[in-house]
Structure 1
Amino acid sequence: MVKFIFALHNHQPVGNFDEVFARAYEFAYLPFVNALKSHPSISFSMHFSGILYDWLEKNRSGYFETLKEMSSTGRLEIIGGAYYEPILAIIPPVDQAGQIKMMRDYIEKKFSRSPRGMWLAERVWEPQLAAVLADAQAEYAVLDDSHFFSAGLQPDSLSGYFYTEFSGKSLKVFPINHKLRYMIPFSDPEKSIEYLKTFNETGATLVMADDGEKFGMWPKTHELIYRKGWLEKFLNLLEQNSGWLKTATFSDCLDSEKPKGLVYLQTGSYYELTQWALPPEASARLSKIWKNSPDEQKPFLRGGYFRNFFSKYPESNRLYLKMLKTSAAVHSVAPGSAEARTALWKAQCNCGYWHGVFGGIYLPHIRREIYKNLITAETIAHNNGDDSPFRILLEDWDYDGEPEIFVECKNAFFALSPAKGGGLWEWDYRPGRVNWLSVMSRHKEAYHGEAPAESISVHEAGSAAKCREKIFQDWHLRMCLLDHFLHPGTSLDNFESAQYGEQGDFTLAGYSVDSVVQGKDASILLSREGSVWENGKKLRLRIEKNLTFKTDASWSAQYSVRSLNDFPAHIWFGSEFAFGFSEKQACLKGAENSITEKVFSDRVYGNLKLVFDRPVDLWSFPIETASRSESGLEKTYQGSVLLANVKTSLQPGEVFKMTVQIMPYVP
């Protein structure tokens, strides 16, 4: 007898569009359950994230009632988890326990039974989770067989469940059979049945657990599974072979079988994620090695692990570290605030912290929602703290050996990196719950070399010619107040494509912090002496940036560029700004000459105003990334870059000055 555990994980990220929830429901969640209703002898298991439970209760209550009815008979096992689908290993222990309890309490209330098992987001495992889950009253977790292969177990030994432990606290773990995961639903149903039958003599218990969205939501799967009848045929075959093949839930297995042994599992996830977590060059090498390796070697091949995404994408690291700081603030300053706690937990939803085959961190609306919730929680914590106008902190926040500077007041939070060009990379406007500087740089990805630019599909209104645009890559992170000295022949197109002559060494260089003043306003003076090349001649310049932050969330930068030469210097200076507008129409590509004021209108965020004390030329272009999704390469708007630039000549000792004020603006 072979036991087959058929399990699905259903989830939509916090901040996803309502129409995506609705489409996933109509194309995947509803038809799958309807199909199972017609086969009452088949047992199965399902996990829903709390985000999806909330949406279903509010928008599709009839479906929710169907789940409760099927659960009450015992044929459907509801799997627990952490409510807002975080990567459990990366969030603080207090939030781990809180999110698991929130899901447990919800399931007990809605389904009148306690969940025995835990679904781990992206099946990301770290050894200490055995103790975390045991403390949270979970009996079992479901992991990929690649975890077990790394521990030296053979594929034919992976049946049923195993024990693991950490610090003397034990947990049962079920391996997911990767062959079944790949076959179902993409191979003929008969092939899956034939594969299951090869285990008949050993009496194995095999698990197929994967995303529910691939049962109708992924490209072409709805037609395959429902219109062409794949699922109905598969369910019929399960019933027709019930003499030797029995469907079961995880609890059925726990109640009727003994563990297969003790295993210690190293950090990991499913193989694909370990490849995505690597830097692009290493990821491409691993892909090549995998393709050229015989099957018996593949179980021992693995890439990085989830935390590598924080070094691969600095934008992810910023979100992660802000989440940790916000958690500490909420639990120390506002522990009794349910609103702050809920916002924090929503911000821990994993989808915006990484990137694989789906958009992930490249989806601006997902990042925007993370920031919105973090800012909400942070604001509540701030309002429960001291009432000083400003708090300024110098701290090596991202563990690069150099301090960052943080400026906080009631209405705003600012973050800048003196060691990285003196760039400003976060400006939270708290009344609007928005980080105006949430942009994503154009990173190199391993898959950029796998397909020509012509394959890019644009999922927005626009001409087909956009699909053939070149994939640009940035040579530095996009921030505000990065200082450029342009080659005389530079055009806007050159600057947009990051293919131009940078004549200075200021953009990525470290600035010294000369003064920090905290009073009615907060001010920070940064400076650097560096070099600029002019027609083969080396110039020496000193830049001072005097930044002023006000309690109304506005800020300004006063530039002084001094010539340290004993001969005339001719320079083309530009200060870069990167704003995370919600839509490209807020700031299109263009060049304006001799302007002193510019207002940008954003239908989501409101208006943003820049005021210069002298005429400048203002270049602008949208940041568009080419990132992979389940539908192929997508071009996605991430924000816009502005370059306020001036051509000038400096006599020995002469100083060029420019001041810019930036503020949220109400006409």
Structure 2
Amino acid sequence: MVLCPSNFLLPTTNCNTGRCDMKRLCLCIHNHQPVGNFDYVFREAIDRSYVPFLETLSRYPRIKVSLHTSGPLLEFIERDSTSTYLDLVRSLVASGQLELVGGGYFEPILQLLPERDRIQQIQLMSDELLRLFGRRPTGLWLAERVWEPDLASSLARAGVQWTLVDDNGFEKSGLRGPDLTHAYVTEDQSQTLTVFPILKELRYRIPWSEPEETLGYIREFGEDAEVFVYGDDGEKFGLWPGTYDHVYTQGWLQRFFQALTDAEDVTTVTVAEAVSSLKPRERVYLPTCSYVEMEEWSLAASRQKVFADLCQKTSPEERSFLSGGTFRNFLARYPEANRMHKRMLFVGSELGNADSEARMHYLRSQCNCAYWHGIFGGLYLPHLRDAIYTELLTAERLIPERRLGTWLQDTDADGQPEVVMATKHQVFFLHVCGGRLVLWDDLRQSWSWSNVMTRYHEAFHDRMLEATSQSETHRVTNIHETLRLKDPDAPGALQFDDHMRVNFIDRFGPSLDAATGGEPVMKEYSAELGQTWARLEASGLIVKTFAPSEGGLRVDFEIGAPQNWYVCELNLALWWEDRERSFVADSFTIGTEAHRLSVRTSSPIHVELSPIRTVSNSESGIETIYQGMTVFIALDLRTSRHLTLEIGG
């Protein structure tokens, strides 16, 4: 027998035969809520999922669990004096039932960060777990289980001994079936890391199948099987639709823990105990991967169904060699995600290596949820994007010596430079393609006026429209296998944009209607820069001169296009107000008390206002979400070919 650090006696593995006396089951639970989520969502998750799970676990002392709690969730729980979560964790850690699992503190996708930030996020989590519970973790939970090969050296340098990666990645390396019930070692630059496969079969069985069925699946494996790893979200145990009644009221979790307690051939161990008692079977090199659902979501909508159909048609033996997209695809699919990510890196480059209050806001902005979209990703949730920008702009405001002025820089990593205009209180990015303002950030308010979401076509839109019945089954089902309609008005609200929702988009036409509905000008504008201004010109059509003002922006238009009407489209992060949508004015305000903009023009203009609403999906179902306001400003070129517009908060 081997004595593990927790004083738990484990059956040893025979080094010659690879056989062990009992089958080990690792249960790794991941509890997380993103930066910026609503307080009531935190509380509901704690009350209906996280705490009931731990309370149930405490009644079954022979069951061991590895637990990851993200930094944003820990911060909320510390502020919420009514929660028993921390006390439950301390008690279970002290009794040896619970292993603390580390991670990036603010739950970032580590691969998207500079090396220094990767290490700091991991060490920050380790320090916090030591402060709160008196223990440092030995392993790490990968956010969204996103793996890239060079991550091994980063984790090793941060002191991480092990991590979990979905079996999808191991299968792409040629492993399958019984091969997935062992520990492996991988390396990058000779920095080694123990890796375990998370079994998709267990993810789809727990907590949906009856406990004996899950144990039966484990027992089907031969004596050589060493360890079975389950790793998934804690929200499955009470927060996902229908699961609270299933898991707690109907007693699934008690039955599961009791079945494991009674089992004579299956024992639960923490991942750290598995690491200490098992030798890695062999060295593996895993490709870039995540769970298979993520590989589908990151593909373009038009390709997701093709990929899903191909997976269905392919035999299980061959299916593992089908690869979908990677997490980085989200930065290509959604310019809004890429803009946030590159804005984060922009602020990081301004910060340098200084440790400060600004750096903590910067690290908090790296929380992954607002950077992607699937059933779980929150890119379509304005409050999560707002939170990212709030942290970024607060960090930027606190930097003592930022670069100010106007210059060219490739801010979105598309190979072409953008115009950057930075003042003490504002930052603007202008794209020469279309002469558009793609970013407008107010540092004093920590608010991005340009934080608006484009209405993209998503694969689930087609499934929604094709559905013949919206009724939900009474049986509790895996949310990956169902389509729920949370908002009955969603099908009628479905619209798709043919252009990105940014600002100062130019259109021309012979009539007002023709110009408003016409194609945007998307040619490359020439750029001329001054210290405090930038001039963008589309030869023969328009010259726009942008100059930051004290609280906003002044734009001068000189229009030469041989048309009767000019229309300028703005898309702004403003809440809709009950007001007239169409009017003629030379000054007006838009927005609500929290965030309001004033607009003044040198001559009367035609104004058309409309809300931007997207139809998006989440674990609770498909719903309609307000994203911002479109403002069409139209000038009759038969009366004037010059316009000055001033806009600001």
- Give the TM-score, by structure 2 length: 0.91
1:657 aligns with 2:647: no
Which residue matches 2:475?
none
Question: What does the per-residue CA deviation read over 1:62-94, in whole Å, with 9 as the maximum and x for residues that have no partner?
Answer: 320110111012110010111000001111111
SS of the aligned residue for 1:360 comes to coil
Which residues of 2 match residues 281-360 of structure 1 at below 5 A?
281-332=302-353, 335-337=354-356, 339-360=357-378
Which residue matches 1:615?
604
Letter of the 1:474 partner, please give it.
Answer: D
Q: In 2, Cα distance between the equivalents of 1:431 and 1:306?
A: 33
Contact 1:7 1:46 in 2 (8 A): yes
Aligned residue among 578, 584, 587 for 2:571: 578
Question: What does the per-residue CA deviation read over 1:504-529, in whole Å, with 9 as the maximum and x for residues that have no partner?
Answer: 6x52222111x3221xxx22221113
1:596 aligns with 2:586: yes
Once the 2 structures are TM-superposed, how far is the Cα of residue 593 of structure 1 from its aligned partner? 2.5
User: Aligned Cα RMSD in Å?
Assistant: 2.0
Q: In 1, Cα distance between the equivalents of 2:593 and 2:178?
A: 57
Contact 1:144 1:175 in 2 (8 A): yes
Aligned residue among 462, 465, 470 for 1:452: 465
SS of the aligned residue for 1:431 comes to coil
Once the 2 structures are TM-superposed, how far is the Cα of residue 572 of structure 1 from its aligned partner? 2.6
Which residue matches 1:279?
300
Which residue matches 1:409?
423
Question: What does the per-residue CA deviation read over 1:613-653, in whole Å, with 9 as the maximum and x for residues that have no partner?
Answer: 11111111111111111122111111110001133438xxx
Contact 1:453 1:468 in 2 (8 A): no
Q: In 1, Cα distance between the equivalents of 2:591 and 2:181?
A: 59
Once the 2 structures are TM-superposed, how far is the Cα of residue 359 of structure 1 from its aligned partner? 4.7
Which residues of 2 match residues 203-282 of structure 1 at below 5 A?
203-241=225-263, 243-282=264-303
Once the 2 structures are TM-superposed, how far is the Cα of residue 562 of structure 1 from its aligned partner? 1.9
Once the 2 structures are TM-superposed, how far is the Cα of residue 486 of structure 1 from its aligned partner? 4.5
Contact 2:490 2:622 in 1 (8 A): no
Question: What does the per-residue CA deviation read over 1:162-194, in whole Å, with 9 as the maximum and x for residues that have no partner?
Answer: 110110110000111110010101122221011
How many residues align? The count is 613
SS of the aligned residue for 1:452 comes to helix
Q: In 2, Cα distance between the equivalents of 1:75 and 1:281?
A: 47
Structure 1: state its 5+ residue gaps: 530-540
Letter of the 1:437 partner, please give it.
Answer: S
Letter of the 1:167 partner, please give it.
Answer: Q
Once the 2 structures are TM-superposed, how far is the Cα of residue 468 of structure 1 from its aligned partner? 4.0
Letter of the 2:408 partner, please give it.
Answer: L
Instruction: Choose 404-413 or 470-479, whichever is displaced more.
Output: 470-479
SS of the aligned residue for 2:464 comes to coil
Which residue matches 2:27?
6
Q: In 2, Cα distance between the equivalents of 1:343 and 1:98?
A: 13
Q: In 2, Cα distance between the equivalents of 1:183 and 1:61?
A: 30
Which residues of 2 match residues 140-179 of structure 1 at below 5 A?
140-179=162-201
Contact 1:359 1:628 in 2 (8 A): no
SS of the aligned residue for 1:45 comes to strand
1:473 aligns with 2:496: yes
Contact 2:156 2:191 in 1 (8 A): yes
Which residue matches 1:73?
95
Once the 2 structures are TM-superposed, how far is the Cα of residue 100 of structure 1 from its aligned partner? 0.7
Which residue matches 1:538?
none
Which residue matches 2:3?
none
Aligned residue among 525, 534, 539 for 2:535: 525
Contact 2:556 2:642 in 1 (8 A): yes
Q: In 2, Cα distance between the equivalents of 1:306 and 1:457?
A: 25
Aligned residue among 621, 642, 645 for 1:632: 621
Q: In 1, Cα distance between the equivalents of 2:293 and 2:397?
A: 38
Once the 2 structures are TM-superposed, how far is the Cα of residue 301 of structure 1 from its aligned partner? 1.6
SS of the aligned residue for 1:297 comes to helix
Once the 2 structures are TM-superposed, how far is the Cα of residue 313 of structure 1 from its aligned partner? 0.4
SS of the aligned residue for 2:320 comes to helix
Which contiguous aligned blocks of 4+ residues in structure 1 show a shift greater than 6 angstroms? Answer: 453-460
Question: What does the per-residue CA deviation read over 1:114-163, in whole Å, with 9 as the maximum and x for residues that have no partner?
Answer: 21100110011111111111111111001101110011012211123111
Do the aligned partners of residues 453 and 612 (structure 1) sit closer, same or farther apart at CA in structure 2, a change above 3 Å counting?
farther
SS of the aligned residue for 1:342 comes to helix
Once the 2 structures are TM-superposed, how far is the Cα of residue 597 of structure 1 from its aligned partner? 1.1
Q: In 1, Cα distance between the equivalents of 2:161 and 2:355?
A: 30
Q: In 2, Cα distance between the equivalents of 1:245 and 1:439?
A: 51
Q: Indicate the structure with greater strand content.
A: 1
Structure 2: state its 5+ residue gaps: 1-21, 471-482
SS of the aligned residue for 2:349 comes to helix
Which residue matches 1:199?
221
Letter of the 1:600 partner, please give it.
Answer: I
Letter of the 1:208 partner, please give it.
Answer: Y
1:440 aligns with 2:453: yes
Q: In 1, Cα distance between the equivalents of 2:371 and 2:410?
A: 21
SS of the aligned residue for 1:328 comes to helix
- Give the TM-score, by structure 1 length: 0.88
Once the 2 structures are TM-superposed, how far is the Cα of residue 489 of structure 1 from its aligned partner? 8.0
Q: In 2, Cα distance between the equivalents of 1:595 and 1:377?
A: 38
Contact 1:413 1:427 in 2 (8 A): yes
Once the 2 structures are TM-superposed, how far is the Cα of residue 427 of structure 1 from its aligned partner? 1.2
Aligned residue among 387, 390, 406 for 1:392: 406
Aligned residue among 381, 400, 407 for 1:363: 381
Which residue matches 1:52?
73
Q: In 1, Cα distance between the equivalents of 2:485 and 2:23?
A: 46
